[in-house]
Copies of this chain bind each other. A is one copy, B any other.
Amino acid sequence: MTKKSSKSVTADQYPLKKTQDDVVYEHIFEAVLEQRLAPGTKLNEESLAEIFAVSRTIIRRALSRLGHEQVVELRPNRGAIVATPSAAQARKIVLARRVIEKAVIELVIDNVNSEQLQLLRQSVDSEKQHFERGDRGAGIRQSGEFHLLLAKIADNPPLLSFQRSLVSQCSLIIGQYENSPQSHCSYDEHYQLIAAIEQGDKVSAATLMSHHLDHIENKLSLDEQQSTDNYLKSVFSDI
Contact = CB atoms under 8 A, between A and B. Distances in A.
B70 A158 contact: yes
Interface string A78-106: 00000000000100110110011001000
Interface of A, helix, strand, loop or mixed by DSSP = helix
Contacts of A202: none
Contact of A156 (B75, B92, B161): B92
Contacts of A150: none
Interface in A51-80: 61, 64-65, 68, 70, 75-76
Tallying the copies of this chain within the complex gives 2
A95 B156 contact: yes
Nearest to A107: B95
A76 to B, nearest CB: 6
A205 to B, nearest CB: 16
Interface residues of A, number: 28
Interface string A1-44: 00000000000001001010000000000000000000000000
Contact of A14 (B76, B96, B158): B76
B17 A92 contact: no
Contacts of A156: 92, 95-96
B17 A76 contact: yes
A166 interface: yes
B76 A19 contact: yes
B76 A157 contact: no
A49 interface: no
Interface of A: 14, 17, 19, 61, 64-65, 68, 70, 75-76, 89, 92-93, 95-96, 99-100, 103, 155-159, 161-162, 165-166, 169
